[in-house]
């Protein structure tokens, strides 16, 4: 399961159904043998200092990064 698929599944559970997942399981068959994947989630009441620092770094980087629409980004590369 790709990260984007997993995020979309979590978003759907939370936004559409008002649920908070505690576990997500799926079976994938990328090769001959099916493989079961399982993610469990724990509710943590607050962020750690390391997580706060990471968010602060992202916020600071976002303030320095100009907005670029996808269409312009796509055409600048060509």
> How does pLDDT run across 7-23, given as a tens digit for each residue?
888 889 889 988 888 88
pLDDT above 70: percentage of residues in the chain: 94
Domain that holds residue 33: 3-77
Give strand pairing partners of 26: 37
Question: Number of structural domains, the chain?
Answer: 1
pLDDT tens by residue, 30-48? 778 898 989 898 877 888 9
Please say whether the beta carbons of 24 and 10 come within 8 A: yes
Where do we find the tokens 């698929």?
Answer: 5
- Provide the pairing of β-strand 23-28 with 35-40: antiparallel
- Overall pTM > 0.95: no
């Amino acid at each position: 399961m790709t990260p984007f698929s997993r995020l979309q599944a979590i978003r759907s559970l939370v936004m559409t159904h008002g649920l908070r997942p505690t576990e997500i399981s799926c079976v994938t068959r990328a090769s001959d043998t099916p493989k079961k994947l399982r993610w469990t989630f724990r509710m943590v009441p607050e962020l750690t200092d390391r997580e706060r620092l990471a968010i602060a770094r992202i916020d600071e980087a976002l303030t320095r990064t100009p907005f670029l629409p996808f269409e312009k980004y796509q055409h600048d590369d060509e």
